Every structure is written in structure tokens, then in C-alpha cells.
Amino acid sequence: MDKNNPSIAVLGAGVVGMTVARILQDRLRNVNVTVLADKFQEDTVSAVAAGIFRPGTSFKGATKEITKQWINDSWYYWQHILNTSEAPQAGVMALSTYIFSKNNYHVTRNHLIEDLVPSYRPVDANELKLCGEGWKHGSYFSTVKIGCERYLPWAERIFMEKGGKIVQKKIKNFTSLPQKFDLVFNCTGMGAKYLCNDYDLVPMRGQVIKARAPWLKTAFYGDYDTYIIPGHDGIATLGGVRQYDSYNMEVCKHDAAAIFERCCELLPSLKKAEIVSHKVGLRPHRVPVRVEPELIDGVKVVHCYGHGGYGVMCSPGTGLQAVKIGVDLMKSNLKNKL
């Protein structure tokens, strides 16, 4: 290894891979980073996601402390971008959010972010009527949204301006890399199931509707995985479904009809919205999310995958830990560390 100019590969160009690549460039000097992937920008699962910062309670690291650290680090990472002039280009925007339930008070609470975001409070009686009658419980919170349709091109541009290299190539195993790297970050999402023979990694199928609703400035959640999240250029994301262990990448007309019906019931003004597209993505669900080192056929690898539906919001936190692990590996003997 050239200690002065280490050569590092990042496998995967979704939000996790591109964020890890950015962190590497920010944390290390004179590092040569190459991103290798078969899909980029709008072709990645990240581009389907609404990208709102609202981690679910199923998002877990090895310990509660690690999970909380990932979430906190991610929040401050996105806040840093939000407070710069680059925020619009990066797709990061502040967002007010309501979550309502007709049956369960606990679903309107989120212990992972209640002490983190600027505001998280119960709604009052008038706010319960914002989305019609029958809502018995609700919370309001302020958060951020990361639109990957902007963030991924922005991250790629900055990465390349700093000397990063991008190669379009599907990596079938760690010995098929086009050159010898001092360190490899595995950020391949569902691809890790085959790359690592990881049977703990399960697809969580999601389907959403992209609708033109420029009047929408606030996000809304309701029962039965119903959500309406505004975005850039007036395009809102309407969802959704969570279908465990489904590999179906086709748009299901029945899912689409159910999503639209639930969203219009939650917010009737959506009936006049123009439907722009229907999107399907397979969320890489794993418990816990895998962030750890491994020596594979002589290749030093740091895994960072399995974020499920929370990769966009929590990629900085897991990425920061993965990079720290990688830096430690380059300073020590991997065999002694594992």
C-alpha cells in the first residue's frame, strides 16, 4: 500500500456509496477514490425514495448506542448542507411534517428523533382536523428532506471535481475488481445479497406515485403506511407499500390504486394532482444494518449496507463509521484486527 496515496474503491453509486465517497475525500488527503457501479443516479433505488428524515424503529445497528449515533451524525451532516448555499443544488430542504392515527398514539411518536429535531410535539384539536375527521392522535415535527434526484448528481459532480473516478461496471465478486485496491467499501445494497452470500439481507418492495402538487408544502403521514411528501419542482411522493421478501419490480396497478385512494382520503386536494410516474424499488432490509470489516480473498473490505428504507436519511452516519473503520484498517494489520 502507498501510505501517501492510498487507492480505495467504493462499490455502489446510490446514496450510501456516493456519501461514503464524499466522506473519504473530506477525511483523507491524497486519497485516490474510485466508485464502481452498474447503476447511477435515476437508475438507483435511492432515486425512488422520498428521502424524508424520519428513521423507523426497525432501523438498527449493532447496539442502541450505535443506532442513535448514526442518526445523530446523519442529522448534523444534512443540517450542515441545509445551512449552505449549496442546499438547493444538493436537494436538501427543511420540511414540516404531520403524522396522524385513528387508532394508535404510539405510531405518532418517534423516540429516535424526538430529542434531535428542532420541534416534535403533540398536535392540538384543530390540527387533528387538517386531514378530515376521525383522527384521534397526532404529532407535528420539523425535519429535512433529501431529494436524491438532485443529491446524487451533485455528489457525483463534487466527487469528480476533487479527483474522484467513476467506473460503470458490475462487480460479481471481490476478486474481479479491475485493479488492486488498498481498501474496498461495499455499499451495494441488495447487490450484497449475492456479492456476500448474505441471506440476512431481504428485499422490502416499495411502490410510490410521483405527482405534481406544487401547492403542497407540508408532509403528511397516516395509518397503513400512507404518506404524502412534497419535493423539489412541485413533485410529491405518494406512498406506499412495504412488501417483505418481494422481488417484483413491476408496477402493480392494484397497489397504485390503493396508494392513491388512501392519499386522497388523507388529503383530498390530491385528486386534482397530475400523476407524473409510478416507481418501484427494492429496499435492502437487514437487521442489523451491516457496518463492519472483513478480509475476503485477501481484499480488505468494509461493508456498509442493509439500510432498508432509511438509507437516504442515515447514510452519513453509517458512512462516517465505515470510513473510520477503513482508516483504522489502513493503519493496522487486518488479520490482527478481525
Is 32 part of a structural domain of the chain? Answer: yes
Reading the block at residue 323, the C-alpha cell is: 470510513
Q: Cα–Cα distances in Å, from 201 out to 158, 177, 191, 198, 249?
A: 31, 23, 10, 6, 17
CA proximity to 100, closest of 56, 136, 125: 136
Is 1 part of a structural domain of the chain? Answer: no
Neighbour tally for 147: CB within 10 Å: 25
Reading the block at residue 302, the C-alpha cell is: 468494509
The contacts of residue 324 (CB under 8 Å, 6+ apart) are: none
What was the pLDDT predicted at 327?
A: 94
Is 112 part of a structural domain of the chain? Answer: yes
DSSP string computed for 178-203: SS--SEEEE--GGGHHHHTT-TT-EE
What was the pLDDT predicted at 321?
A: 98
* Residue 289, burial from CB neighbour count under 10 angstroms (0-12, 13-18, 19+): buried
Containing domain of residue 21, as a range? 7-337
Is 287 part of a structural domain of the chain? Answer: yes
27: left (phi over 0), alpha (psi -120 to 50) or beta: alpha
Is 2 part of a structural domain of the chain? Answer: no
What was the pLDDT predicted at 315?
A: 98
Query: CA-CA distance, 286 to 336, in Å (whole number)?
Result: 27
What was the pLDDT predicted at 128?
A: 96
What type of residue sits at position 158? I
What was the pLDDT predicted at 3?
A: 60
Residues 21-32 pLDDT 10s: 999 999 998 899
What was the pLDDT predicted at 93?
A: 98
Q: Which residues of the chain have pLDDT under 70?
A: 1-4, 333-338
Neighbour tally for 104: CB within 10 Å: 11
What is the C-alpha R_g of the chain? 20
Q: Is 131 helix (H, G, I), strand (E, B) or coil?
A: coil
DSSP string computed for 24-62: HHHH-SS-EEEEEES--GGGSGGGTS--BS---TT---S
Query: CA-CA distance, 307 to 303, in Å (whole number)?
Result: 12
Query: CA-CA distance, 114 to 68, in Å (whole number)?
Result: 12
Query: CA-CA distance, 35 to 275, in Å (whole number)?
Result: 34
The number of domains in the chain is 1
The CATH number for 161's domain is 3.30.9.10
CA proximity to 235, closest of 214, 218, 256, 220: 214
What was the pLDDT predicted at 67?
A: 97
Is 255 part of a structural domain of the chain? Answer: yes
- E strand or H helix at 228: strand 226-229
What was the pLDDT predicted at 335?
A: 47
Is 158 part of a structural domain of the chain? Answer: yes
CA proximity to 34, closest of 175, 193, 177: 177
Contact 309, 242 (CB under 8 A): yes
Alpha helices in the chain, H assignment, sequence order: 15-27, 64-82, 87-90, 148-161, 192-195, 253-266, 311-331, 334-337
